[in-house]
Structure 1
C-alpha cells in the first residue's frame, strides 16, 4: 500500500488576515519558500511532495520511517508561522488514504498521527499533452493555461475514480498516483493526445525519476503513448 502523508497548516487563514491589506505578496512569497523547504525535507528521504492548496500538502512517503516522519514534522513546525498537523497512512488506494487523513484531522486533537501499515510500491504517472508549445503560439499563453487547468481537472477526477490522486506540476505536466491494480485502466481512460511516463518503485522519489525518464523517452522517440520503468531492486514478488 502506498504511504500518503497529509500536512495541514492549521488556521492558516487567520494568520493571513493578521498581515493587513497589503498581504498577498507576503503570502505568495511565504508559500513558495515553505513549498521549497517541504519538498527538500521529503526528497532527501526518498519521498516526494505535491502541493494541494498551499495550506495543505500531500507527501508520498513510502520507506520513510516513523522517526523520520517525526523529524520532518518537527522541521516543518519550525518553518511556518502557524501550527502544523500531519497524518501519515498506508493504504491500497491513495484516495482513501487522504480521506482517512482528512477524517483524523477533523476529529483528532493530535498534531502528529502515524498509522502503521504494509507498504507496496508507489505507482507514479507523469503526464503531458502533445504539442502544447505549438498550440501556445497558435492561440495564446493564457488560453493554453486555461485548457491545461481544464485538462488537469479531468485527469484528477478520473484518477480519483480509480482510487488515485493527481497534482499539477506546472507547464502542461501532471502527476498521478494510482494503485497497482488500476493504473492501466486509468491510462485507458485518458485521451490519445497525452503522453504518459510510468515509474514504479517502493521509493516515491525514484518512482518519479523513472516516470520522468519514461516520458522523456516518449518525447524523444515519439513511437509510444506510454512507457513503464520499474525499480526492480525494490519490487518484491
Structure 2
C-alpha cells in the first residue's frame, strides 16, 4: 500500500490579488520557499514531496502519521502569510491514493473557499506493516552531449517537456504518477507496475519520439528510502555495472 498526501494552499488565488495583484517575483519566491520547507519537513519523516503546480503539491507519505501532518501544517501557518490544507489517501497504486486524498479534501470545500483553513482530511493511512513504496528514477540518455551542448537551451527544455508528456500519458494508464525533478530527470511513484512494464513504456517512447531512456527502480517501506535506492540503481546503469535499461534495487 502507498500513502499520498495532497497539500493545497488555502484560498491562494484570491490572496494573490488582494488587496491588489502582488508582485510576481514575490509570489514565485513564496512558492519555491514553501516547497523547499515542506520537502524538508516531510523528508525528516521519510516522505517525499513533488511540487506539481506549487499551489498544489503531492507527497508520498508512508510512515508520516496524522500528528506529523498537523505539526507541519501548524509550522507553515506560524511562519507564512498563507495556510495549507491536506488530504491523505492510501491505495495499491499511487494514482488511486492521490485520487482518494483529493476527494477527502474536496469534501471540506473548494480551493478558494474562504472558510476552509488548515483542514486535515484523512481518507485512509497505511499500516506500517503494509507499507511499500516503489519509485522509478527515469533519465534521458546522453542529453548533455546530444542536446544541451548543441542546441539552444529552450529547445532542450521543450524536448524534455515532450518526454514528460509521453511518460505521464503512459504511466497514468498503469496507475502510476510522474513528476519532473530537474535536468532531464523524472520520478515515478509506480506501485503495481513491474519492471517489464516500465521497460515496455521506455521502448515505446524511443520508438515513437526517438528519445532513449533508462530507469532505476527502488523498493522500500518509505518514499525517502525507495527514492535513494532508485538513484543508486540508476547510477549502476550509468556506470556500466549493468546493461539493463531498467534496474531494480530493494531494501
Same-fold status (TM-score > 0.5): yes
DSSP 3-state at the match of 1:123: strand
The yes-or-no answer on 1:113 pairing with 2:117 is no
Displacement of 1:65 after TM fit?
2.2
Q: How does 1:125-144 map to 2 (within 5 A)?
A: 125-134=136-145, 135-144=147-156
8 Å CA contact 1:158–1:186 kept in 2: the answer is: no
2 CA distance for matches of 1:19 and 1:40?
31
Q: Report what 2:133 is aligned to.
A: 122
2 CA distance for matches of 1:40 and 1:10?
20
Q: Report what 2:214 is aligned to.
A: 195
The yes-or-no answer on 1:146 pairing with 2:166 is no
Q: What TM-score do the two structures reach when normalised by structure 1?
A: 0.90
The yes-or-no answer on 1:14 pairing with 2:32 is no
DSSP 3-state at the match of 1:190: helix
DSSP 3-state at the match of 2:45: coil
Q: Could you give the per-residue CA deviations for residues 191-210 of structure 1, whole angstroms, max 9, x where no partner exists?
A: 35101011100111010101
2 CA distance for matches of 1:21 and 1:69?
31
**Pick from 199, 207, 218: which aligns with 2:237?**
218
2 CA distance for matches of 1:53 and 1:98?
15
Structure 2: unaligned runs, 5 residues or longer: 110-115, 207-211
Size of the aligned set, in residue pairs, is: 231
2 CA distance for matches of 1:77 and 1:137?
44
Cα RMSD (Å): 1.9
2 CA distance for matches of 1:144 and 1:155?
17
2 CA distance for matches of 1:87 and 1:112?
6
Displacement of 1:19 after TM fit?
6.8
The yes-or-no answer on 1:41 pairing with 2:63 is no
DSSP 3-state at the match of 1:200: strand
Structure 1: unaligned runs, 5 residues or longer: 232-237
Q: What TM-score do the two structures reach when normalised by structure 2?
A: 0.86
Displacement of 1:160 after TM fit?
0.8
Greater CA drift, 120-129 or 183-192: 183-192
Displacement of 1:66 after TM fit?
2.2
DSSP 3-state at the match of 1:138: coil
DSSP 3-state at the match of 1:70: helix
Displacement of 1:107 after TM fit?
2.1
2 CA distance for matches of 1:126 and 1:181?
14
DSSP 3-state at the match of 2:149: helix
2 CA distance for matches of 1:75 and 1:164?
31
Greater CA drift, 169-178 or 186-195: 186-195
Change (3 A) 1:10 1:21: closer
Q: Report what 1:179 is aligned to.
A: 191
Greater CA drift, 1-10 or 175-184: 175-184
